[in-house]
Chain A
Amino acid sequence: MKTTQNSENLDRPELTAYALGELDAAQNAEMSAWLEQHPDADVELDHITALAAALESTAELPTYRLHPHQRQAVLAGPQRVRELVAAASSAQRAASLQRQRLMARRVSQFAAAAAVTIGAFYAGTHFGSPSVAPVAAVTKETPKPIAEAKPTPVLAAVDKLPAKLEPATAPTLVSSDTLVKPKSVVLKPMLPIAVAKPGPVVTPSVITASVPNVTPVVAEVTKTARGPVTKIFSQPFTSTSKGAVASVSLRPSETRPTPPKAASPVLGAPLPLNQSNKPPAPRSNKSPELLIHAWKAEVTACPWDESRRLVRLVLQVPGEQPAASSADNAYPLHVAFDPNYVRSYRLLAQRATTPATMDAAAVHVAWYEVTPNGNAIEGSPRNLGHVTLPGARFTTQAMSPFDGSSLQILDRSAKWQASREDFLFESAVVGFGLLLKGEKDIGQLDHSLVLSLAEKSLTDDRTGERAKFVKLVKQAQQSTGL
């Protein structure tokens, strides 16, 4: 009985929707809670996920194209549509004239009948007895008064009609007859079209990264929906014996939230970034100070290589501030690793999240992988290095004035298993990125480990993005056969 009840409980469309990532945040949370109370549903969930992954991985759509003449017809569309509209309006005119002519014919028939009747009445009255001849005489004369009768304008209009009226053409594209026939149209070359998916406001996000002693380079410009953008780097380890300082450039303009749209946009006259119509102030050579709300450094064991340490640097930067008003403003985040404790390091990834609103904060994250040199004393915290951000200050008075060398990267020998869920999830994303890039020297990193990390972070999946990520990794795992 219990089994039946359980199986009935598990037979829920919501479970399928959950597995397919179709629930909204609230429903997702509700479903997660339900799943916690029904551990037997995990098997069902796994089955659905496996089948969905199989369907997606084996889904193959052959590539089809329209025939060349069909493509030409579509690409010459505006002209073709104009022709159709013109044809429709001429058909309407013709139909209108046809209706008028029909009405005129009926009126003339009625008038003729009336004239015959009146003529017969007159003949009967004047000649006393009915006779065929007078009636015939009257009948012969009927066309004249009829032609001069009331419908004259209509008849005149009918006279002006063309000898042959074209048949009415369907005014819409619904009929299969209106499917476009091939036309000899010279095609212009196709323009490259940027992929634009429907969604929230598109915000350009530029990730800038630099390697030690190398001028910062704009990696790429990615147009994406508002949300985190992660850039995974492929870099070899850098030895600390060279005394180099790792550096990441922060460009607050890149995470500046999109200002609200103007009520009446003016073509060809883009507003300045500060949304003011005033002329821009003369540029100063000195960049404004970068305001930051907070920053922190976290260090744990590296999940894919226990002999290394994983460092995450997080900065909260106000989205709307003077430093964000110019794309030229870049602030180097220097990371100096201590050679006493660190043998080598490499930048793994950088992420920048644009805030949803103007008054919220952007989040900049940088991930480093560090190889300790083994000088640390077991059980005691060690300072792997420090982070500086010249030209910046805190927004909070309590921490002001800003001490550019105050952020220490303290390694307290934390294990990655004890990390918070957001750390685990992000490390899974970074690991997956390394796999996708085919990065070398990644220890035990594989899809299973990425899945293991990501699945540990699912209890706090408010937006459902983590479940989607897990699904994605499973698909990738299946497709690679690992």
Chain B
Amino acid sequence: MSQFNAQSEASALVRESMELYESQLIAYAATLLNGDLERARDVVQDTFLRLYLAEPEKVRENVKAWLYTVCRNRAFDVLRKDIRLTFAEDEVLHTYSDQRPDPSLAADTHELYDRAWELLESLSENQQEVIRLKFLHHQSYKDIARVTGLSIGNVGFLMHVGLKKLRDLLQLELNDHSTSPQ
């Protein structure tokens, strides 16, 4: 009877988690997997299946951080098994980041802010990840630390340096725009 209860509780938790975090997790996994949505879906499917094996009482309290942690680890497992593809994707990413911004987008500071997410690619992977987790996935420092395995202090430092660098990049674009010929 208790086993049945535990199973139904786990099922409810999985359904609930899928409803809430399915899309976010796929997006997060896709980021880690260099935009490979199909493998991101596989990773997220596996993440939800693993939730059945977890004890609901222990997981329920912070299921979001738990899902992100497992999803992240699974994504890195997949990446480790496919190094060649990762290198190929990295090359694509570098090509992408080398592109100059479209000057029409830098009309003013407000519009520049729209470029913040694009400029994020110029930051280190650690900085990108904590900023994404914070602003895209609405995770606290504490949860980010849990997901990434970093200390809260490290998360705070990465966030601080990352945002500062992002501001500098935005400022640079603004200056470029203001000095460029009309």
> Which A residues fall within an 8 A CB radius of B?
11-17, 20, 22, 47-48, 51-52, 54-59, 61-67, 70-71, 73-75, 77-78, 80-81, 173-174, 176, 178-180, 190-191, 193, 195-196, 198
In residues 1-60 of chain B, which contact A (Cβ within 8 Å)?
Answer: 7, 10-12, 14-16, 18-20, 22-24, 26-27, 30, 37, 40-42, 44-46, 48-53, 60
Interface pairs (7), CB distance under 8 Å? A20-B141, A59-B136, A61-B23, A64-B40, A75-B15, A78-B7, A173-B50
10 closest pairs, A vs B, by CB? A54-B113, A64-B26, A13-B160, A16-B160, A55-B135, A193-B16, A70-B45, A13-B156, A74-B48, A77-B52
Q: Is the CB of A179 within 8 A of B42?
A: yes
Q: Which residues of A contact B62 (CB under 8 A)?
A: 198
Q: Which residues of A contact B106 (CB under 8 A)?
A: none
Q: Is the CB of A191 within 8 A of B15?
A: yes
| Docked complex Cα distance between A64 and B28 (Å) | 11
Q: Which residues of A contact B177 (CB under 8 A)?
A: none
Q: Is the CB of B30 within 8 A of A180?
A: no
Q: Report if B148 contacts A (CB, 8 A).
A: no
Q: Report if B123 contacts A (CB, 8 A).
A: no
| Docked complex Cα distance between A209 and B132 (Å) | 42
Tell which of A22, A54, A66 touches B156, judged by Cβ atoms closer than 8 Å. Answer: A22
What distance in Å separates the Cβ of B171 from its nearest Cβ neighbour in chain A?
A: 10
Q: Which residues of A contact B174 (CB under 8 A)?
A: none
| Docked complex Cα distance between A66 and B30 (Å) | 12
Q: Report if B166 contacts A (CB, 8 A).
A: yes
What distance in Å separates the Cβ of B165 from its nearest Cβ neighbour in chain A?
A: 11
| Docked complex Cα distance between A12 and B153 (Å) | 12
Indicate whether A179 sits within 8 Å of B45 (C-beta atoms), given known contacts A77-B14, A81-B52, A193-B15: yes
What distance in Å separates the Cβ of B132 from its nearest Cβ neighbour in chain A?
A: 9
Q: Report if B159 contacts A (CB, 8 A).
A: yes
Q: Is the CB of B27 within 8 A of A62?
A: yes
Q: Which residues of B contact A56 (CB under 8 A)?
A: 135
Tell which of A48, A64, A77 touches B37, judged by Cβ atoms closer than 8 Å. Answer: A64
Q: Which residues of B contact A16 (CB under 8 A)?
A: 156, 159-160, 163-164
Q: Is the CB of A176 within 8 A of B78?
A: yes
In residues 113-163 of chain B, which contact A (Cβ within 8 Å)?
Answer: 113-114, 116-117, 131, 134-137, 140-141, 153, 156-157, 159-161, 163
What distance in Å separates the Cβ of B144 from its nearest Cβ neighbour in chain A?
A: 10
Q: Is the CB of A73 within 8 A of B167?
A: no
| Docked complex Cα distance between A117 and B100 (Å) | 83
Q: Which residues of B contact A176 (CB under 8 A)?
A: 42, 77-78, 81
Q: Is the CB of A180 within 8 A of B27?
A: no
Q: Is the CB of B23 within 8 A of A74?
A: no
| Docked complex Cα distance between A54 and B119 (Å) | 13
Name which residue of chain B comes closest to A197, CB basis: B64
What distance in Å separates the Cβ of A80 from its nearest Cβ neighbour in chain B?
A: 7
Tell which of B15, B135, B137, B156 touches A190, judged by Cβ atoms closer than 8 Å. Answer: B15
What distance in Å separates the Cβ of A266 from its nearest Cβ neighbour in chain B?
A: 14
Indicate whether A22 sits within 8 Å of B140 (C-beta atoms), given known contacts A78-B11, A190-B15, A198-B64: yes
Q: Which residues of B contact A75 (CB under 8 A)?
A: 11, 14-15, 18
Tell which of B18, B45, B159 touches A20, judged by Cβ atoms closer than 8 Å. Answer: B159
Q: Report if B61 contacts A (CB, 8 A).
A: yes
Name which residue of chain A comes closest to B78, CB basis: A176
What distance in Å separates the Cβ of A447 from its nearest Cβ neighbour in chain B?
A: 16
